[in-house]
Amino acid sequence: MDFPTIHTNFWDAVIAVPVVMLVTQLIKLFFKMPKKFVPTVALLLGLGISIFISHRHSLVVGIFMGWFYGYAAIGNYAALKTTITAWREEKS
């Protein structure tokens, strides 16, 4: 079995993950979705962006990087929320 070559570039690290975070938050805001579905939406957005936009040439690469986009957005959101919560508690 020959594994595909996966290149992580500027798009992956700086644009795709924040786009997934932003669109997920906009969907959460406008459609009032329950919090338990937010990670699933982020993962589906990451897969969609990766498969249909950034890695159209290979489905395997698109799926792999889509998981990266979705879970990186989930992790970044959780870290940011934890940091802001801790900072607010420290201030009061």
Cα separation, 81 vs 87, in Å, equals 10
Do 64 and 7 touch, CB atoms closer than 8 A?
no
Greater model confidence, 92 or 23:
23
Q: How many domains does the chain have?
A: 1
Domain for residue 83, yes or no?
yes
> Per the domain annotation, does 38 fall within a domain?
yes
pLDDT in tens, 72-84: 999 999 999 999 9
The DSSP symbol for 20 reads H
Q: What is the pLDDT of residue 6?
A: 64
Q: Is 5 helix (H, G, I), strand (E, B) or coil?
A: coil
* pLDDT tens column, 3-49: 766 666 777 768 999 999 999 999 999 998 999 999 999 999 999 99
pLDDT at residue number 41? 97
Give the contacts of 45 (CB within 8 A, at least 6 positions apart).
Answer: 20, 23, 24, 69, 70, 73
Question: What tokens does 40 get?
Answer: 């699933």
46 domain residue, yes or no: yes
Tell me which residue range forms the domain holding 78: 12-91
Within a domain: 5: no
For residue 47, give both structure tokens: 């897969």
Asked whether residue 82 is assigned to any structural domain, the reply reads yes
Q: What is the pTM of this model?
A: 0.83
